[in-house]
Structure 1
Amino acid sequence: MDTKTNDEKHPKKNDACDFAVDIGLYSNIFLAILKTLVGIIGHSAALLADGINSTSDVVYYVAVKIFMRLSRMPPDEEHPYGHGQFETIAALVVGAFIVTTGIAILWDSADRGWHLYTGATETSGLSIYALWTALFTIILKTGLAVKTKRIGEITRNPVISALTKDHINDIMASTAAALGITLALLGHTWVDPFAGAVVSLFILKTGVGIIKESSMELMDTVPGRELDAEIRSVLAGVKGIKTVEEVRAHRFGQHFIVNITLCVEGSIPVSDGDRISTDAEKAICENFSHIRQVYIHYHPGRP
């Protein structure tokens, strides 16, 4: 079987992943500066908290870039299957930051709610520019979420999928900020912390989900039945295979290493068995671009 990795065979996928990370990083740098400044000048605690959220996004986007570069290092003696697990670690980092963001927003919402209850909150001087900034953030993040989601579907990269969820979380956070600012301008200040608390729960749920999924990959949990069924369906069209006895797939980042056990006719010569094995490898590689390597074991079936 060809030993070239999918990174080498599909450089455009790597370029697409880099693009998704870069536009997210630069957008968050811009938004962090914009929201923090407008939050301070416009006397908006909600927008200022959202700006701090974008600042934390910048930190973990840098971490993601580093891990993705490490994941593309070629296989070596200590890592014969490559370094694709760095992508899973990067997704785990994203999940951890999302959970941290959810906790921070929940805490901030509770704090603002308490200050409203005690009458210690000052809402005078709240600027309409804070609202425009929050709305601009929603529009920008919606575009980023759509683009990143498409790239994630094409590349099957767990990091990009996690970043898509993060963009969606940012949309919800900014929507809560916009709602809070709007109603605060109208005198209904209690909605701001309430909306923030509700959004924080959704963010926490997303972060925990990403951490759980990434942890399962690091623990080498067997992939779902869908991939198993797809592989068996492809092998059903390979001449000479009596049955597919076992399919085991191990995920390494966006790629899979697959081990397959086949049953062939017991009366055929070894050379025919090798040909069937080669045909099976070729069929898998042609139909699944995200499968890095295939290892096939065959044995004769019972008469």
Structure 2
Amino acid sequence: MQTHESDNRRNLLAVNLSLGVNLVLAGVKTTVGIVGHSPALLADGINSTSDVVYLLIIRIFMQLAGKAPDREHPFGHRQFESIATVVVGAFVITSAIAIFWNAISQVYDLLVGQSEFSGAGPLALWVAAASLILKIWLTVFTVRIGRHTGSIAVSALARDHRNDIFTIAAAVIGIVLGRAGYLWVDPLAAAIVAIGILYTGIGIIQESSADLMNVFPEREVIERAHRIVAGVEGVAEVEEIHIHRIGLYLLIQATIGVDGALTVAAGNQIATEVEKALQQHIEYLRSVSIHYHPSRSSAGKSERATGQGR
């Protein structure tokens, strides 16, 4: 329970820190993007604004996800994280589409001579560069927490921060080239920013949707569980293993074969050892159910012995 509460505090710290940073960046980049005449910085400011909105939603859902298991939710409330992550992906994709459409419109206006855009001011460049440094630090911090706690919401947040590094870098390049006289590069950089944002949103939704639909875990996890069960003394064969994912956690159901000559108590002891081995070596394992019966080989020997006796 203590570990659960500690992980939840770390997750909320990552979300709260991200919320504070993005709140500042949203205000500064949007304002400077407008005043400094930089479509790329304005696009990134809009992206930070959408980050603020979905971070508020994530914070609410993560507080719900941090509640301890109860009678109605024996496996905890971790799927609230998956719901929050879907919300993140939806906001990211919506922002990407809006930014891309506006950027392409500005590029078109420049090409046909209908735009009054004259290049970004020096303040826009300084703000973009400072945002880049801040996002690099925030990405490293969030990645560490996500790996430590195993939170899919924090991991999705870290990927969004990491993608922001590339999008801000594109904005910096666009501003520099725009100030050098290539005015069309700045809004084009905004379009590139939008494509990067869209890619992140799609990836986030794919992962969280798989988690909500209880998709089977990776083949590597299943094979690892099979090796663990087969390695327990007294297990004659592993007939089947089913692994299900509930939020962050795993549920394992396995059927094993044991020597048919063993007593029920001895069979129960082997099943208990299998459970202990799985709980010791499989991370985030919440529930284990082991069924056992005489192995096929021992059943065959028993039938042959009965036939010879007759």
In structure 1, C-alpha distance between the alignment counterparts of 2:53 and 2:255, rounded to whole Å: 45
Instruction: Give the alignment's TM-score, normalised by structure 1.
Output: 0.91
Q: Which residue of 2 aligns with 1:203?
A: 197
- Tell me, yes or no, if the aligned pair for 2:243 and 2:251 is still in contact at 8 Å: yes
Match of 2:156 in 1: 162
Structure 2: tracts of 5 or more residues without a match: 299-310
The CA deviation string for residues 134-169 of structure 1, in whole angstroms up to 9 with x for no partner, is 111111111221222222222222112211111122
Calculate the aligned-residue CA RMSD, in Å.
1.9
Deviation at 1:234, TM superposition (A): 2.3
C-alpha separation in 2, matches of 1:64 and 1:297: 40
Partner of 1:16: 10
SS at match of 2:236: strand
Aligned-pair CA distance for 1:131? 0.6
1 or 2 for the larger relative contact order (CA 8 Å, sep ≥6)? 1
1:72-103 deviations in whole A, cap 9, x for unaligned? 22334443332221111111111112211221
Residues 229 and 277, structure 2, Cα contact 8 Å, conserved in 1: yes
Other-structure match for 2:219: 225
Q: Does 1:253 align with 2:247?
A: yes
Aligned match for 1:190, one of 177, 184, 187: 184
Matches within 5 A, 1:255-294: 255-294=249-288
Confirm or deny that 1:172 pairs with 2:163.
Answer: no
Post-superposition shift, 1:59? Answer: 0.7
Closer, same or farther: CA 102–176 of 1 in aligned 2, 3 Å: same
Describe the SS at the equivalent of 2:74: coil
| Higher Cα radius of gyration | 2
Asked if the contact 1:245/1:261 (under 8 Å) is kept, the reply is yes
Corresponding pairs, count: 297
Which of the numbers 290, 298, 301 marks the counterpart of 2:295?
A: 301
Change (3 A) 1:149 1:101: same
The Cα of 1:105 is off from its aligned counterpart by 2.2
**Alpha-carbon displacement from aligned partner over 1:159-187 (angstroms, at most 9, x marks no partner):** 12211111122222212221111111111
CA contact (8 A) 1:84 1:253 kept: yes
- Give the aligned partner of residue 32 of structure 1: 26
Q: Check conservation: 2:237, 2:258, Cα contact below 8 A.
A: yes
- State the one-letter code of the partner of 1:115: D
Q: Per-residue deviation at 1:9? A: 4.1
Identical-residue share of aligned pairs (%) = 47
